Structure 1
Amino acid sequence: MTISFTLRTEDLTLDEIGKFYVDTKHDRENIEFLKSNATGLLIGSRGTGKTMLLKIAEKELLDKFENDHILPVFVSFSSAALVDNKEDIFKKWMLSKILFALQGQLKKVGLLKTKNIFSFLIGKDSEETDDLAVQISKLINKLEKSWKNNQTVVDNASPFVEDVDYFKELLHSVCEELKIKYLIFLFDEACHNFLPKQQREFFTLFRDLRDSYICCKAAVYPGITSYGTFEMFHDSIVKRVEKDILAEDYVDKMRDIIERQTDDRTYNILIQQGELLNSLIYAATGNPRVLLKSVYEASEKLTSLKKTNVNSTIKDFYRTQMWNEYTKLGDKFTSYKEIIDWGRAFIEDKVLMETQNKNSRSNNEEFYDKQTIYFIIHKDAPELVKKAINILEYAGIVVLHTEGYKTRGGIYNRYQVNMGIVAASTSELDLSSYIIKLRRGLSIKVVTEYGANSVAFKEIDQIKNNINFENGGIDLQTLLDRNIDILDIYEYQKKEIKKEGFCKLIDILNSSEMDLQRAHLIGPVRARNIYNLSMNALLEYIIG
């Protein structure tokens, strides 16, 4: 039997999530925060476990609902990039999605005895409440298909998804009728796939929803979020999810993550080569998804763990794969392409070079026995530099270690470069041993400093006029124009449907399943499978 890792929390049920979750002190603090009635943001790069924490908070609140009467409602906006915002009805789509997520949760816990949530307004089902539910359901469906052939949505929505006060009044009725103490909305994929205008609209709604019955939490990425008039540190509590590689229990907890996704035999194969496994754990720099991917590759699909394979995996994974994924962000966020490219050059040509110099000091130099993966940037550095660093955070290339770090009279942010990337940038042959040495000598006191006017930033002036943050969201058209070769279907199927003119995702998604059946050997079942795979490929790429 082939064993593999589950890399995304979305692929797990709540019960499976409970089995896979590994509790750490930091994660426990974040979960308790998510379960509290304080408005807040959970910030972290891709693969750091934001969705896992939201789902664990949801599970624990549901387990205690009968006693505490606090109802969590998990809301995903993963299909936001498909919603046409031309008619300025994005807020209605968000409120509609929230309403139906709440209705679904009430049904799951057995609290909704009527057909739909609107019955709470008059105390019973009626033709009027049925019409409201159908109307809003149709609105969601139309909006999420509005990208097709530039369709224009005629909006006849209810006031409950037009006006926040009406919306809150409905939620108050629900809470009072069902004796719910308060609702906690847990927004996943909150806005990284929104256009900047949509992001600002979301955070305005996020702030406006707050009251005695409603609390909102959102998982967000660093670097690509426009908050508008929402002030992160005044309008909410901000928590970060990254795991500390210097923590005493770091290795044990990361091993636990692996153990929970393997059987005893497989796990024993991995831990028999303890130091090799540890080198992969340190290289991942606290990112569970990166860890699982790299371990799977290095262990030849979880069958063995050899030094040669570990070293080649570290080199390929951190020198090639991670940087390739980062560079592809320029295709996803086209308006940021130049700043994305600048960020890569800054890390590879400046930061990593200085890091290597510091890590190879001779015995007569200061800190000769210390190692570093850290650099600091002055708080008054150019805004484009800060944006570039934030996008590097989003990709997991760097991690914010300390905010507001004071040294030599200046205020800096301290960042750490992914340890695997630091190792892979060297000329070392035995990268696994190098990583262990790097971790043993690691000191947060050894940093490379970049002041407000560092010469390392001089190239940023050449691109500042080319960056348009207003258009910095997901480029949906670029995604729709992707070749169908990315689909996980047989080559002969790709060949046959290409013959019928279905060469890009948009060709398939603009067609019907009946159209796809024109292709040789493509029947109703395969046509539906191909259509669903195309939509999943699009959403998967958007989610990241």
Structure 2
Amino acid sequence: MKPQQDDEADSGLILTAEECPPESFAKYHSFSSYDDVIIRKLSAHGPVLLRGGRGSGKSALLLEAWRRMQEGSTIFPVYVSLRYLPLLQSDGEEYIGHFCTILSDRVQKEVTDRGLGYNFGTASDQLSLQLGLTKLSQTIGRRIVLLFDDAAHIGREKPLEVFFDLFRTLSSGLTSCKASIYPGVTKFGVRFDVFNDSTVIDISRSDVSTDLDFFPKVVQARYPKLALRPTFSDRLSPVQFANLLGRAVVGNLRGFILACNRFDEHDRIGIPEVTRCFLEMATDYYWPLMEEVAPKLGVYEPLVEPAREVMEAIVEHTTRLVKERPRNIAQDRVLIHRQLVSHYSKIFEILEYLGFLARREASRAMKSGGRGPVFAINLCNLLDSVPSNRLTIEMIEEWIAGVPEPAELHVLGQTFQGVKLPLLPSEHGLAILDRPVAVLGKSVAYPYGLTKDMIGRLQGAGIATVDQLANTTDQDLDRIEYIGAAKIKRIRDTVYQSIWM
């Protein structure tokens, strides 16, 4: 393979833990005491499901658990990324065949890397895989922990039932299975009871008032300049800045990193600069995010427009008092009656997954009667709807502390009156796979996308669609002129971003 020759490909690596170079993982990732508790559970006996939205840190926790277990001598950890296109396009026995091959290869690689001198082989079916794991555990004298990343895809739910059947079957006294899933997964199959057959752990960092150290530590590790007091104006401290950005993106780490990137060229940061960042994030990150995700939602693609309407209605409702009365701080959380959340369940799942909202409480009593969950709203869209479009120090202090009482949306209210739910089609493939490779170009939706030159070279090699690109081997890509190791990695990362959630 040609040597690395495109250093700009590195710019997007830090956005996702699974694409971060192993030698840089510890440098770019910080874990709180709460994270340490989760990591210990990922290392312990018993099956665990790690649930969180896009960019919430699921992969980072799985990888850190894998790294820590490698340092011990009693556990044999195997991290398995299920970002494999045939898994998305298959079901039943075909899915099981692909799954067994992927896991067998990953186990063998781990055995080889650890120098254990054992030939695991390739299991062709569920039973032989299960027996092979048991034999391996007994031979090396270690408990096996399987960490499955990207096990669930919101736009292709049918294979999930097969996965969770495998997840349940492979779990034993010698083998512990852990997997990351997104909020709202319901396709567990008839043989998997999510609460009896696993421990579910929810990741949530949107309430910065409960942990004022996490985001400052992330900034210190990733952006040392943004942790220095001289970088900021007198009215804004580095700790306030980090926690405000963390609260603004409702704890979503990918959104947090993208927000921090906007301050790279700033020598001095004050409230006006942070205000500009929030407004720009609302315009060129959050709303374009829906456009990026739409073609990979499968049967749920028609729900993107209703999701936009629901989000706009929530923001309009929570900023109503600011517009009607001389009140200068908008409510940054909303308590929604459970019947409304149930009726628009998939829409709330999409909004949570994308980081527009974050569920803060599972159930709270409403003043008008009934109960419902409390959602934190991302501050970027919120500020964009405030009449002044301007942050104040009072807003910053109250939003970080979680002082304002949440707004309420009642079951008989009119807020969602104009939102109509379309009929969903039968399950089919992901629309993104049929799109031309040109959609992967640098854009608001794909800030770290492919250059025009790279797209032209791919098209010149006969690669016309995203599906064809995803199925092209690294060896075939390497044969294309001026495409070497760095560009191949960048292409792979962009394809992964376009297909997986």
TM-score (norm 1): 0.77
* 8 A Cα contact 1:479 1:538, kept in partner: no
* 8 A Cα contact 2:271 2:391, kept in partner: no
Measure the CA separation in 2 of the matches of 1:196 and 1:234.
21
Measure the CA separation in 2 of the matches of 1:329 and 1:497.
23
5+ residue gaps, structure 2, are 1-6, 443-447
5+ residue gaps, structure 1, are 119-132, 134-159
1:100-179 to 2 correspondence within 5 Å? 100-111=105-116, 113-114=117-118, 116-118=119-121, 133=122, 160-162=123-125, 164-179=126-141
* 8 A Cα contact 1:284 1:419, kept in partner: yes
Q: For 2:318, give the aligned amino acid.
A: T
* 8 A Cα contact 1:351 1:448, kept in partner: no
Q: Deviations over 1:260-299 (max 9, x none)?
A: 12346874554565255554343122222212211221x2
Residues 293 and 242 from structure 1, CA distance in 2 versus in 1: closer, same or farther, beyond 3 angstroms? same
2:247 match: 282
Number of residues paired by the alignment?
Answer: 482
Measure the CA separation in 2 of the matches of 1:17 and 1:179.
29
Q: For 1:422, give the aligned amino acid.
A: L
Residues 249 and 4 from structure 1, CA distance in 2 versus in 1: closer, same or farther, beyond 3 angstroms? farther
- Secondary structure, aligned partner of 1:470: coil
Equivalent of residue 387 in structure 1, options 343, 346, 350? 346
Measure the CA separation in 2 of the matches of 1:454 and 1:516.
55
* 8 A Cα contact 2:245 2:259, kept in partner: yes
2:438 equivalent to 1:477? no
- Secondary structure, aligned partner of 2:209: coil
* 8 A Cα contact 2:440 2:449, kept in partner: no
Measure the CA separation in 2 of the matches of 1:165 and 1:501.
41
Measure the CA separation in 2 of the matches of 1:513 and 1:102.
22
Q: For 1:353, give the aligned amino acid.
A: E
Identity %, equivalent residues: 19
Measure the CA separation in 2 of the matches of 1:46 and 1:225.
17
1:325 match: 289
- Secondary structure, aligned partner of 1:399: strand
Equivalent of residue 376 in structure 2, options 411, 416, 434? 416
- Say which is worse superposed, 407-416 or 336-345, in terms of deviation: 407-416
Equivalent of residue 372 in structure 1, options 326, 331, 346? 331
1:303-314 to 2 correspondence within 5 Å? 303-314=267-278
- Secondary structure, aligned partner of 1:184: strand
Q: For 2:249, give the aligned amino acid.
A: A
- Secondary structure, aligned partner of 1:161: coil
**Distance apart, 1:70 and its partner CA:** 1.8
2:147 match: 186
* 8 A Cα contact 1:266 1:303, kept in partner: no
* 8 A Cα contact 1:502 1:508, kept in partner: yes
Residues 329 and 510 from structure 1, CA distance in 2 versus in 1: closer, same or farther, beyond 3 angstroms? closer
Measure the CA separation in 1 of the matches of 2:37 and 2:127.
33
2:318 match: 355
Q: For 1:352, give the aligned amino acid.
A: V
Q: Deviations over 1:119-138 (max 9, x none)?
A: xxxxxxxxxxxxxx4xxxxx
- Secondary structure, aligned partner of 1:295: helix
Residues 270 and 77 from structure 1, CA distance in 2 versus in 1: closer, same or farther, beyond 3 angstroms? farther
* 8 A Cα contact 2:69 2:76, kept in partner: yes
Q: Deviations over 1:159-189 (max 9, x none)?
A: x432x33321111111111111x21111111
2:16 match: 8
Residues 432 and 90 from structure 1, CA distance in 2 versus in 1: closer, same or farther, beyond 3 angstroms? farther
**Distance apart, 1:315 and its partner CA:** 0.3
- Say which is worse superposed, 387-396 or 41-50, in terms of deviation: 41-50
1:127 match: none
- Secondary structure, aligned partner of 1:242: coil
**Distance apart, 1:117 and its partner CA:** 0.8
- Secondary structure, aligned partner of 2:339: coil
2:25 equivalent to 1:17? yes
Q: For 1:417, give the aligned amino acid.
A: I
Residues 379 and 239 from structure 1, CA distance in 2 versus in 1: closer, same or farther, beyond 3 angstroms? same
Equivalent of residue 36 in structure 1, options 37, 44, 50? 44
* 8 A Cα contact 1:332 1:479, kept in partner: no
* 8 A Cα contact 2:17 2:59, kept in partner: yes
- Say which is worse superposed, 478-487 or 45-54, in terms of deviation: 478-487
Measure the CA separation in 2 of the matches of 1:82 and 1:21.
29
**Distance apart, 1:339 and its partner CA:** 1.8
Residues 338 and 438 from structure 1, CA distance in 2 versus in 1: closer, same or farther, beyond 3 angstroms? farther
* 8 A Cα contact 2:39 2:62, kept in partner: yes
**Distance apart, 1:491 and its partner CA:** 4.0
Q: Deviations over 1:462-503 (max 9, x none)?
A: 434x214734x7435335665464596654565566567655
Q: Deviations over 1:46-94 (max 9, x none)?
A: 1111111111111221212x2xx12221110112356542784111111
2:173 equivalent to 1:212? yes
2:500 match: 543
2:356 equivalent to 1:397? yes
* 8 A Cα contact 2:95 2:159, kept in partner: yes
The Cα RMSD (Å) is 3.6
Q: Which structure is higher in RCO with an 8 Å CA cutoff and minimum separation 6?
A: 2
Measure the CA separation in 2 of the matches of 1:446 and 1:174.
53
- Secondary structure, aligned partner of 2:180: strand
Equivalent of residue 70 in structure 2, options 53, 62, 73? 62
